[in-house]
Chains A and B, each alone.
Chain A
C-alpha cells in the first residue's frame, strides 16, 4: 500500500499541474482513479493475478515524471533505423508520453473523417467523442494499473475511424523513451472503430537512452459492428525498462480483431489483455511471442470474456527463455451462461534453454454454457533432440541447428502476422535476436 500512498500524495500536491497539462475530459476521471488507487493500491504478488510479477515494487524507486509537460528533445531519426523496410506506414511519434508533432507524421493520405493523433488535442477539440469512449473499458474496480495510469496520464494517442471507412495504409505509432533522468511514463491509447471500418495499427516501443524507465500503458479498443482491426504491439527496449500494459478490447457483433504481442527485448514486462465479446459472431485472434535472456521477465495475462453466443477466440503464445530469464503466462477464458456455440482455443508453448530459466503457465477455462467447444493446451519443454541430431547429421552446426529450430518454433506465431513486410521484418528481428545481435542492433544502441 505504501508506494500507492506516495503517488496519491504526489497527485494531490500536483493536481493543478497534471490537469493543466492535460484536457478536461481526461481530468474528469481522476477522482475515480484516485479512490480506486486508494482502495486497491498497486498490484502486488500476493494477488492471484499478479502472482509472478510484483508490479507494486516497480513503483518504489523515486521516478521522475514529466508532469509539467516540459519539452523533452527526442531524436526521431533514430527510430528510422528500426523501421520496417518495404512497409509504408502512416507514422506517429510519442516522445515518452507526449504526442510529438513531427514533420514525419504527415496527416495526408488518411481518408476523410479519420482522426489520428494526440489524445490530449482530441479531448480538447472533440470532447464529445472522447468522453463517450475514454475510460469506459479500463477497469478500475480491481487491482491493476488502470487507476494509476488514469490518474497521471496527460496525453497519448487516439485513432478514430468513422463508419464504413477503410484505412489501407497501416498506422505506426513509435514510442521513444528518452530522457536524462530515470523516468516514469503514463501512456494512454484510445482506438475507436466505426461500423464496418478497417484499420491496422503497429505500436513500437523503443528506449533510446540507457536510463531506467517505467511505463504504464492503457489501451482501449472499441471494435464496432463488422469492423476489422489488427494490432501489433512490439516491445524492443532494454533490461532497465519496466513496462506494465493493459489492453482492453470490446468487440461488437461480427467484428474481427487480431492482436500480436511481441516482446523481443525488454527488462520486466507485464501485459494484460482483456477482451469482451459484446456482439454475436465476433472473432478474436490473440497471439504472443516472448524471447528473453539475462534476467528478463515477461508476464502475459489474457482474459477473454464470452458474454454472447457464436463468438470465436483463438490464442497462441510462445516463449523462448534463455539464461536466467523468467516467463509467466496466465490465460483465462470465461464462457458465460447462454454464450452457446462459443468456440475457444488456447495454446501456450514454451522452451526453457537453461536450468535457470523458469516458466509458469496457467491456462484456465471457466464455462457455464453447454453447447461450446473449448480447449486449451500448454507445454514446457526443450528443443527436440532428434531434430537437432538429424540436422547435425546433414552438416548443420549445432548452433545453427538450434537457431533454426527456435526460429521455426516462434515462426508459428509470426506466420500469423498478416502484414507481409512486417512479417519478414519480424523474422529478421527474431533471427537477429537469437543470434544475440539485437543487443547491438543499429536502432537500439541503448540496449544493454
Chain B
C-alpha cells in the first residue's frame, strides 16, 4: 500500500477537489442575534407568523431543554458547544418582503442550488421526475412540482406553509413520534426549529415521483434546525430523498434536526439520505456537528418503513434513525453506509422497537473508517412482551483503511418475548490485499482499486437507494476516500 511516489502536485489537486460543495453564496441573509433565550424562541415564532399553540409547544420544549444536559454516552469526543454563540434563525429570502413567486427569489440563491445540481425550475425538474423542497439555512426556498402533486391530493410543502395551510394535520402529528422530551437535541430542535418539509400522502395514493429536500447551511455562525414530518395514510406509498451540504468554514456549525414519520395501515415509506455536510479539513478543523433524531412510527398494520443512509460528511455524526413497529405485521429496514475520513467521528445506527405481533426488522450497516477517524455502530433491538413472532436480523460490517482509525460496534439486544428471533452479526476487517493485488495487476491504480472495492462492499446498501442518488452516493464514496492510500 505505498503510493508515496505519487506526484505531490497531483495529490494537492485532488485534495482541493475533495469537498466540492464548500463554496459560500453571497446573498443577503437576515440573521437574528446569537444566543438562545425565551425571547429568541418567541422571535422565531413571530417571524414565522405562527399560531399561539405552536409557540406554546416551542416554549414547553425550551423550558424542558433548560433542565437537560448534553448526552455524553456516545463514543464521540465532542468539544464544548456554546449554545449561546449560535444564531438560531437565518433567512436568506428576506429582501424587503418575502418572495411571492420564483422570480422574486434572490438569483444568488437560485445559483447556489444550480451549482449543487438541484433542479429548482420545474422544467428542469421534469426531466428528473423529482419534486424538490430546497431549504437554505432556516427557510424553505422553493418547492417544485406542487401543482402536479396537489392533483393527487398530496401535500408537499415547507413546514412553515404547512402550519399556515394545514394546521390540523400538523397539530395532530407534530411531536407525536419524537416528543420534545425525547432527548437533548430533540428538545433544542422543538424549541427553535425553523423550516423543513411536510409531506402528507392521502389514503390509497402512490406518490408518482420521488420527493426530495435539499438542505444547505450557508450563513456563518448559524445552526440549522429543520424539522421534517411525513404522514403516509392508509395504503399509500412515498419515496423521500434528503441531501445536505454546507460551505467550508473553520468554525463548527451545529445541525440538530428532527425527522418524524407516521406510517398508517399498509402504507410504505422509503426515506433515503445522502448526508454530505462539510466534514472539516484534513486537520480536523471546522465541519458540521450533525446531531439528528429520526424516527418512524409504524402505526398501521402491515406498514413498512425503510431508512437508507449514506453518511460521508459531518465532523461529528450522532444519528440513530429508528422504527417503532407498533402495527401488527409492520416492517422496518435500516440500510446504512457510514464513511469517516481524516478526523471525522460518527456514532450512528438504529433502534428497532418491536411492539406489534409478527413485526420484522432488518439492519444492514457498513462502516468504513480511514485516516484518524472513529466510526461506531450503535443499535438497539427491543422486543416487547406482546411482540409474538418478532424477527430481526442485523449485520454490521466494518472496514478499516489505515492503522490510525477505529471501528466499533455497540449493539444492544433486549428480548422479552420467547417467540422472537433476534440475530446479530458483526465483522471487522481491512481491505483484502488479494483483491487489491488483483486490481493492480490488471492496471487499476491503487486509489481506484480501493474505490472499487469499497463500492462493492457497500453495494448491498447502495442498491437500496433510488437511481439518482445511487450514482451520486457511489461517486461520493470514491471522492471521500481519495488520499487514504499510503
A295 touches B (CB below 8 Å): no
Decide yes or no: A366 and B400 within 8 Å by CB, A380-B413, A382-B419 being known contacts. no
Q: Which residue of A lies closest to B380 (CB)?
A: A362
Q: Which residue of A lies closest to B412 (CB)?
A: A362
Q: Number of A interface residues, CB 8 Å? A: 35
**A374–B427 contact, CB under 8 A?**
yes
**B409–A353 contact, CB under 8 A?**
no
B391-421 interface (Cβ within 8 A of A): 398, 400-421
Q: Select one of B413, B426, B430 contacting A372, CB under 8 A.
A: B430
Decide yes or no: A382 and B418 within 8 Å by CB, A338-B403, A367-B400, A371-B403 being known contacts. yes
Separation of A140 and B37 alpha carbons in the complex (Å): 44
Q: Which residue of A lies closest to B417 (CB)?
A: A355
Most A Cβ at <10 Å: residue of B398, B403, B428 = B428
Separation of A377 and B426 alpha carbons in the complex (Å): 6
A346-382 interface (Cβ within 8 A of B): 350, 352-355, 357-382
Q: Which residue of A lies closest to B418 (CB)?
A: A352
**B428–A375 contact, CB under 8 A?**
yes
Separation of A340 and B400 alpha carbons in the complex (Å): 12
The A contact surface, by secondary structure, is strand
**A380–B409 contact, CB under 8 A?**
no
Separation of A371 and B431 alpha carbons in the complex (Å): 9
B385 touches A (CB below 8 Å): yes
B134-167 interface (Cβ within 8 A of A): none
**B421–A370 contact, CB under 8 A?**
no
A382: min CB distance to chain B, Å: 6
Separation of A48 and B410 alpha carbons in the complex (Å): 12
B423 touches A (CB below 8 Å): yes
Q: Tell me which residues across on chain A come within 8 A of B53, comparing CB atoms.
A: none
Separation of A362 and B429 alpha carbons in the complex (Å): 20
**B413–A378 contact, CB under 8 A?**
yes
Q: Tell me which residues across on chain B come within 8 A of A353, comparing CB atoms.
A: 418
A312: min CB distance to chain B, Å: 15
Decide yes or no: A358 and B398 within 8 Å by CB, A371-B430, A376-B409 being known contacts. no
Q: Tell me which residues across on chain A come within 8 A of B429, comparing CB atoms.
A: 372-374
**B415–A352 contact, CB under 8 A?**
yes
Q: Which residue of B lies closest to A349 (CB)?
A: B423
Q: Select one of B404, B409, B420, B422 contacting A363, CB under 8 A.
A: B409
A31 touches B (CB below 8 Å): no
The B contact surface, by secondary structure, is strand
**B413–A360 contact, CB under 8 A?**
yes
Decide yes or no: A363 and B411 within 8 Å by CB, A355-B385, A368-B406, A379-B421 being known contacts. yes
B47 touches A (CB below 8 Å): no
Q: Which residue of A lies closest to B428 (CB)?
A: A374
Q: Tell me which residues across on chain A come within 8 A of B403, comparing CB atoms.
A: 337-338, 340, 369-371
Q: Select one of B385, B401, B414, B430 contacting A360, CB under 8 A.
A: B414
Separation of A373 and B422 alpha carbons in the complex (Å): 24
A367-416 interface (Cβ within 8 A of B): 367-382
Q: Tell me which residues across on chain B come within 8 A of A380, comparing CB atoms.
A: 383, 413, 415, 420-422
Separation of A364 and B426 alpha carbons in the complex (Å): 9
A383: min CB distance to chain B, Å: 10
**A364–B420 contact, CB under 8 A?**
no
**A366–B408 contact, CB under 8 A?**
yes
Q: Which residue of B lies closest to A336 (CB)?
A: B406
Separation of A113 and B424 alpha carbons in the complex (Å): 48
B170-189 interface (Cβ within 8 A of A): none
Q: Tell me which residues across on chain B come within 8 A of A362, comparing CB atoms.
A: 410-413
Q: Tell me which residues across on chain B come within 8 A of A48, comparing CB atoms.
A: 73
**A359–B415 contact, CB under 8 A?**
yes
The 5 closest A-B pairs by CB, nearest first: A370-B400, A374-B428, A352-B418, A375-B427, A380-B415
Q: Tell me which residues across on chain B come within 8 A of A373, comparing CB atoms.
A: 427-429
**B428–A372 contact, CB under 8 A?**
yes
**B408–A361 contact, CB under 8 A?**
no
**A376–B400 contact, CB under 8 A?**
no
Q: Which residue of B lies closest to A354 (CB)?
A: B418
**B424–A367 contact, CB under 8 A?**
no
Q: Tell me which residues across on chain A come within 8 A of B410, comparing CB atoms.
A: 362, 364
Separation of A379 and B422 alpha carbons in the complex (Å): 5
Taking A358-B416, A370-B403 as known contacts, 12 extra A-B pairs with beta carbons closer than 8 A to each other, sorted by chain A number, are A353-B418, A357-B418, A361-B415, A366-B75, A367-B408, A368-B406, A369-B403, A370-B401, A370-B430, A375-B426, A378-B423, A382-B419
Q: Which residue of B lies closest to A355 (CB)?
A: B418
Q: Tell me which residues across on chain B come within 8 A of A360, comparing CB atoms.
A: 412-415
Separation of A414 and B350 alpha carbons in the complex (Å): 35
Q: Which residue of B lies closest to A370 (CB)?
A: B400
**B415–A370 contact, CB under 8 A?**
no
Q: Tell me which residues across on chain B come within 8 A of A354, comparing CB atoms.
A: 418
Instruction: Give per-residue flags for A306-346: 1 if the beta carbon is below 8 A from chain B beta carbons, else 0.
Output: 00000000000000000000000000000001101000000
**A370–B425 contact, CB under 8 A?**
no
B259: min CB distance to chain A, Å: 27
Q: Tell me which residues across on chain A come within 8 A of B411, comparing CB atoms.
A: 362-364, 378
Q: Which residue of A lies closest to B410 (CB)?
A: A364
Q: Select one of B73, B412, B415, B421 contacting A358, CB under 8 A.
A: B415
Separation of A381 and B389 alpha carbons in the complex (Å): 10
Separation of A354 and B419 alpha carbons in the complex (Å): 8
A400: min CB distance to chain B, Å: 20
**A337–B425 contact, CB under 8 A?**
no
